[in-house]
Amino acid sequence: MNCDDVRRLADAHHDGELDLLRQMEVDEHLRQCRACAAVQESHRALSAALGAGLHLTAPPSLRRRVRAALKGSVAASPWSRVRSLQWVGVGLAAIALALVAGPMLSRRLQADPLAQELVSAHIRSLMATHLTDVASSDRHTVKPWFAGKLDFSPPVVDLSEAGFPLAGGRLDYVGHRPVAALVYRRGEHVINLFVWPSSEASSHETIRSRQGYNVVSWSQDGTSHWAVSDLNAMELRRFASLVQAGP
């Protein structure tokens, strides 16, 4: 395992999402490579800081300037006092913005861990040469393969005529449960479509981006669908629409 491999898996390693063998390989590399170990330590420090929330206070220099402006405004002309108070207002607004934006940024960076977990699963499937457990472009071969391996039957759609041929499927583990991963291709691009049961009957598509990958999610007929790929957002949304349309 080289440095590029380890850095791609940094998030999954830190969150404990790797399988035991991959976790041991990353740990061994980190013991031998100071550069990667330093990157990983920085990653841990950032996560710890975000987990604790960002708490910003006004620096002493700004406090002194505000006090000086208030003190000077007492003996100054009316127009000078107005200008001083304007600067005081700017300073106070900056403090308020920092105090509000800090926690918001923290929550934004920590949001949607499921999307990050699915991107990590997508990356692992490409790196570990374990893209499929059953390799077939025939949905009548792929769909029955999951029988007895999952507690549900994933819908499998043939999209070859639309330019998204089925490549196969595999079992994956996401959100503390086994899920179906259906693999499609678009030219040289790979699409992992993760599927599992959902209590939500249906929902509109939601698109997000993580680590250079696009993620489109939706619920349909009591099933959650999450498509992950390095395809551009427009093509991935088209793929999602075709899957929703069915055979």
Q: Quick one: pLDDT at residue 49?
A: 54
Question: What pTM does this model have?
Answer: 0.57
The residue among 139, 140, 143, 121 whose CA lies nearest residue 130 is: 121
34-52 helix and 20-32 helix, angle to the nearest 10 degrees: 110
Q: Quick one: pLDDT at residue 247?
A: 72
State the DSSP code for 197.
E
Region of residue 221 (left: phi > 0; alpha: psi -120 to 50; beta: else): left
Taking the chain (247 residues) in consecutive chunks of 10 residues, what is each chunk's mean pLDDT? Answer: 75 68 78 76 62 57 72 55 56 56 43 83 84 94 94 94 96 90 96 91 81 92 94 94 89
